[in-house]
Every structure is written in structure tokens, then in C-alpha cells.
Structure 1
Amino acid sequence: MEEAGEALQREGIKVLLSAQSGEHVPHCPHGPTLLFVKVSQGKEQGRRFFACSACRDRKDCRFFQWADEKVSQARLQSREEYNRSCQPPMSHQQYMTRFQEFVALPLAKRRFCRDCQQLLLEGDWQEHSGHRVLGDVSISHLKRPSQLLHPLENKKSNAQYLFTDRSCSFFLDAITRLGYKRVLCVGTPRLHEWIRSKSSLEESQRKVKSLLLDIDFRYSQFYGEDEFGHYNMFNHHFFGGEAAHNMCQKFLREDGGRGVIVVTDPPFGGLVEPLAFSFKKISNMWSPTSDPGEPE
């Protein structure tokens, strides 16, 4: 296995990571880009370049920039506008306002558009009249959003092969048995909803809390800002900015940082080095010895 790993480092594309990775680098719709270089026989070949951290296929994210390239102000402005156009149509807070209005509707008026993957208020019905719409969306449906949403299937950037209920039950039993009280679910939405649904039935002293970090913004429709963070695990980017970062850090440091565990299920084709780098940063967020104002 070590020989295979060394071979991968000697041939192909290498990602260059440092303590400053993510700072003062160009952004794509998925956050800060990563620095790459072609290598052959363990030596760099050609120019270094920036590319998307999450998408290895240029069809999924077209961003590319040579590291030594001078980019015009007009191009930078165009890039910023494009990045903004790729973000969710609403803020997390706006999604939560809609969610509260949705829950207040009678069951017969609760609808979900399968084509647009969106909870519908009465004012949305006309716009979605020709779409496939699910009616009578119950509270039980809302507690299991992964069963409403279509899984994202790109193996290299999303690959939502969701855990079965049996697997979730096994994980939660093990977590509880080992004495953990909080679970940071990174890319594991079904485990997050399973923990939340089961913990609501437990006595307060036995409850397990969870926080979901996921690149799939659609979960913003169902969870508050203290339950879900829109996050890219390949560059440790919180799309909600400093507020989302601080929310996650508060969760990790609760009770002096004791009793917390991270469970993750990365995309199959994702790069290992950036993932390890991100989880090191999460560990630094958790560490009570690190200053909240310091960069991870």
C-alpha cells in the first residue's frame, strides 16, 4: 500500500497544501480553490495552477487559473458575479422563515416540488403547476429530508450514497455506548436526521446532539443554522462565513470539548490530502487551547 501511495505522488497531479491554503487564492462557486501541479518521477512538471477543490471533472466546475497568471479587474468582476449566481437562491435565514410558514400550513396545503427539490408555499403553486409535486407533506417527511431529496450522484464531488436505517442504528448505538454526547456529521445527512429523530425520544440526560456539515445546500430548507452548515469538506469552506464557522466551533467546544465525535462519509473519488487537511482544521477548531480568533 505504501508503494502504491508513493507511486501516486510520483506521477500525475499533486495538490500543494500549506498553512496558508485557502487564503488569498481565487474562488470558484465551491469556495477557495486549491493549488495543483503536474508531477513526473516525483518532480514538478510545468506551471502550477488553481482548480476547484470539490470537482475533479471540468464539466462540473470550469474554473482554471495559472498560479502566475495576472487576471484583469474585468475578469475578476465577471468571476465574482458568476460565483454569486451559482449560490443558493435564498439565505439560510430566509429558508428557515419559509420553513416555519410551511409547517404552519394545514397538511393538505403542504407540497414539495420533486423537480425543483423545494418546499412550496401557496404563493409558489402557480409557478410549479406543471411540475411533479408531492402533496400532504407530513412532519414525519420533514424529519427525514433525505427521503424527499434526490441524492446527488457525482462520484467525485457529491456521491450521496446514503446510509441505511440499519447502518444509522448501528452507528448511533455505538456512539451512545462509547459515551459520546455530540456528533459532527460531515457529509452524512441520514445519520444526522436519524440521531435527531431518535434523540427526541430519549431522556434529556441520554440525548445525543448532532450538527450536519454538507455541501448540499438543499438541507438549509429543513434545518436551522445551529443544526446545519453549508460546507465544503475539501477546502474547509463555510459558505455561511464567520457566523457558520463560529456556530460549528461552539458546537465542538461545548462542555469543554468533551464527548464529541466526527463521523464522515467523503465522496468516493475525492482527494485524500485535502480531506485530511480539512479535518486537521476541524480538530484545531475543537481544541480548547487554540484561540477562536486564530486561523486554523
Structure 2
Amino acid sequence: MTENIKDKLLVVAEDADAAAPDQHPSCPHGPTVLFYRQSQTPIDGFFACSAHRNPKLCDFRINRLDWRGNQIKRRTDVLDYPKASDIDDPDPTSHLEALSQDDVHAQYFFDESALQFFADQCQTLQINKVICMGAPRLHFHLRRDKNIASFLLDFDDRFGSYLSPEEFCLYNMCNNHFFYKRQPFEAFLKCDNNERVLIVTDPPFGCRTELIAHTLRSLRRLHNRINCLPVTPLAVFWVYPYYMANYIRQDMPELQICDYKLNYTNHNRYTNVGASRRCHGSPVRVFTNVPLQLLKLRTSEGYKYCEKCNRFTAVENVHCDRCGNCCAQNGQTYRHCAICDLCVKPNYVHCPSCRRCSQVEGHNCKLYQSKQLCWLCGHRGHVESRCQIWLKLRHKHRLQQQHGCLICGQKHSERKCKMRGRYFKESQFMGLTTISVRKR
């Protein structure tokens, strides 16, 4: 759901199954989601459809203050499973018309190379079961492998005519809602001790990342409960554009980006063929909690093994000894900015006022800085020279103003200053860094 407003629209993600029966109303597409604006609190928000981001397609909306649980009946009915066709179609996605309405389905199908990539990783990771969440072509591809069982969770009810309840359920990934009985899916999740499960999700790129992240955590909890396991992660492949990395990391900081570029057969820009293709290839990547060192990419498709990173990367991704990583993400060869002390896109220009590299020379510094993450305190909305926390620390410890690094004055960024540990305490959990001020 989108609205043309400057005030950012936020969302409260809650597990529909775990929520109280009268907590959220439901529309025909399952439990709704609570939206609210950045200037509001959740109590002032509104409930709206989680699946249809265009209100013309589902106009359900009710203010949070007007919802009283017992006034509007919550939908609890389960749809009847359609009778499967007697025709054994190996891959109906090869002839079914794709539901490419971006406000709802955005149904794009992986090409053969992408399908082989997932199959290769399943073999490498010794995966026995795959949950294809919004990835129908992958499901039909994996059905040919006798060593892998696959279950399709998808919002397209047409697949119910080709697949039995033991391998398909009509499903809304934005609210973890099963339209059919979910017992067959729970039976699929039941594993032996030596079986490994992988979730591959290919949501519409307009989906709220916090909703998808919450659904992935809900499926993990369901898997753990069914198999009587403690808090155990499930392997995840989340297919999304590389430029959405910051949003994904905010919701699931344990996910890393793999350099593999995925192509779709029915999208003219997210592919490496055709007149409309991007000059640096498809921007679609795989975000995963699987260690990147375990993934194998084919050198015949434009990938190489970096001995220093101990992982496969794109051929154009040159290792930076200063950063200690192959930093490029968009298909270009990044360069290291000595002033920023990090790798940036080759067309970026350094701005001394912002203390950052920017793609636009002569940009609005005030606006640009309002979106930056401070290297000192870790908060968003300012750069280091405007950090009020550091100004107070400098005054408290009677530190002099420095012209290079604000902490020590040397020619490096505050992120890598060896003296920052005197004033800031950093802790990391699942890839997320938390910065706090040391009490002295």
C-alpha cells in the first residue's frame, strides 16, 4: 500500500496467528496490517489490506480508534481447495499468463540460469526441502529432482488446479495467512534429524520489507515448534534488488547480499538481454543468512573466487585491501575514497561539507546530511561534524577540535579510528552494530 505523502508511512508487523482474535480486522485477503505515519503513534493509525497496495483493488480501511474487535466480524473461514487437473503439467508457468500487475502480484519468472543457481545451492548445502514462497517456476523446476521436496506458497490460486494440497497452498506472504487448510504444509515442515529446509522468497519489490521479514520469522518459529527445536534459524534466500539492502538489513540484519545477479524471463529491465536491459546487468540479488563462503557461483557465468574474501564474487568486483572486502554491489568496479575511507561507486564525487561521497556534485548538503548515518553515534539525520553527542563528549573531556578525524586528527574516518573505543562502546549482534557512549 502506498500513499503520496512526505510523512513516511510506517507499519506494525504482527503474526496473524499469534495475535489476539480481536486484535486486527480482516479483509477478503486475510488479517489487515496496522499502518501509521511517522508523526503519529500506532494508536492513531489505520488498518488496511496487506496484499493490495492500491486501494482501488481493496478499499478496506478502518481507523485504529474505530476498531472495537466485537463490532466487525473477523474472517476465520478457510477456502475449499480446488480440484486438481488430471493433466500432469511439468511447468504451467511456461504457458500461463503472468499476473504482472505490480500493485498485487508482480509475477515475474526466473530464467533457466537462476533456476540452476538455486538447484546448485541446494546440492551444495545438502537441502532436502524447499519452501518456494512466491517462486512458482522454481517449485516446478525442483519437482524434477527426486532428492528435493518442494512446497509452493503463492497468492495465485491458479496453481491449485495443477498441484495437490501436499505441495501447494494459496497464501498471503504479507501477513502469513493461509487461505486453505495449512495442515499439509505443517506436515511438510516435519523433518527428520538429517533433513535441511530452505526458504526461497521472491516477493513483489513493492512489498514492505518489515512484513516479509516478520513472515520469515513466523515460519521459522512454526518450523521449530513442529520439530520441537529451540531457537534455530532456517536457511533463507530472499530475492530483492541490491538497492533495497538497507531496508532488509534494518529488518533482518543477519542477511548478507550474494553477488549473483538473477534474471527474469518476462521483465525487460531485470535481465541481461534485450534492448531495455540495464548496462550493468540485473539489479536483483539474493539476501541470505547462509554464510557466503558456502555458496558456489559458476565461473562460466561471470563469477570468480576471491581468495582474500574466501567467497565467490562477480568478475568486476575488485578486492579492496583497505576495506578488506569485495565491496561492489551494482555491477560496477568500485573505487576506494581515501577521505571517506570506504569504497564508493566510480562516478561518486566527494563533498567536504557532508564528509561523504555523493553521486550528485553541487547537491543540497542539508537534505543529504539529514539522510546520513553518523559514524560517531550511529544515529541517522546528521554527519559527524554536527553530532551533538560528540560535542558534549569533547566538552566533557576537554578535547580540542580536530581537522582530520574528529577523535584523533589523523587522516582516516572516525569509523576506523583506534581511539574511538575510549569514548564509544560498540556491540554486534547478527550483523547489526549498536553504538553507545562509554561511562567514564
Normalised to the residue count of structure 1, the TM-score between the two structures is 0.66
Q: Aligned to 2:12, which of 11, 16, 22?
A: 16
**Which residue is equivalent to 1:118?**
none
Q: Which has the higher contact order (CA 8 A, sep 6+)?
A: 1
The two structures, once aligned, show a CA RMSD in angstroms of: 2.9
Q: Percent identity of the aligned residues?
A: 31
Which residue is equivalent to 2:64?
A: 67
Report which of the two has the higher share of helix.
Answer: 1
Aligned to 1:32: 31
Q: Which amino acid aligns with 1:179?
A: Q
Offset from partner CA, 1:218-273 (integer Å, 9 cap, x none): 10000000010111100000001xx31x3222212221473111111010100011
Q: Is 1:161–2:100 an aligned residue pair?
A: no
Which residues in structure 2 correspond to 1:180-195 (within 5 Å)? 180-195=127-142
Instruction: For residue 278 of structure 1, give the secondary structure of its aligned residue in structure 2.
Output: helix
Structure 1 residue 55 displacement after superposition: 1.4
Partner of 1:47: 44
> How far did residue 68 of structure 1 move?
1.9
For 1:286 and 1:151, the matched residues in 2 are separated by 31
1:259 paired with 2:196, answer yes
| 1-structure distance, mates of 2:229, 2:113 | 38
Q: Match of 1:279, SS?
A: helix
- Cα gap change, 1:147/1:48 in structure 2, threshold over 3 Å: closer, same or farther? same
8 A Cα contact 2:133 2:173, kept in partner: yes
1:151/1:161 contact within 8 Å kept:
yes
Deviation sequence 1:65-89 (CA, Å, 0-9, x none): 111215799x957x97xx98xx97x
CA pair 290-36 structure 1, distance change in 2 beyond 3 A: farther
Q: 1:58 to 1:145 in 2, by over 3 A?
A: same
**How far does residue 156 in structure 1 lie from its aligned partner after superposition?**
3.7
How far apart are the structure 2 equivalents of 1:66 and 1:257?
Answer: 48
Q: Structure 2 CA distance, aligned partners of 1:230 and 1:58?
A: 22
Matches within 5 A, 1:1-296: 11-18=7-14, 20-21=18-19, 23-24=21-22, 25-40=24-39, 43-44=40-41, 47-69=44-66, 76=72, 91-92=80-81, 94-96=82-84, 99-100=85-86, 103=87, 139=88, 142-196=89-143, 198-199=144-145, 202=146, 207-240=147-180, 243-244=181-182, 246-256=183-193, 258-287=195-224, 288-289=227-228
Unpaired runs of 5+ residues, structure 1, are 1-9, 104-138, 292-296
The answer on whether the counterparts of 1:157 and 1:270 sit within 8 Å (CA) in structure 2 is: no
Cα distance between partner residues in 2 of 1:149 and 1:71: 43
| CA displacement at 1:155 relative to structure 2 | 2.0
Q: Deviations over 1:66-121 (max 9, x none)?
A: 11215799x957x97xx98xx97xx32x422xx13xx3xxxxxxxxxxxxxxxxxx
Q: Give the structure 1 partner of residue 414 of structure 2.
A: none
Identify which range, 213-222 or 53-62, moves more after superposition.
Answer: 53-62
Question: Quick check: 2:167–2:185 contact (8 Å CA) kept in 1?
Answer: no
Given that residues 25 and 72 in structure 2 are in contact (C-alpha distance below 8 angstroms), is that contact kept between their aligned partners in structure 1?
no
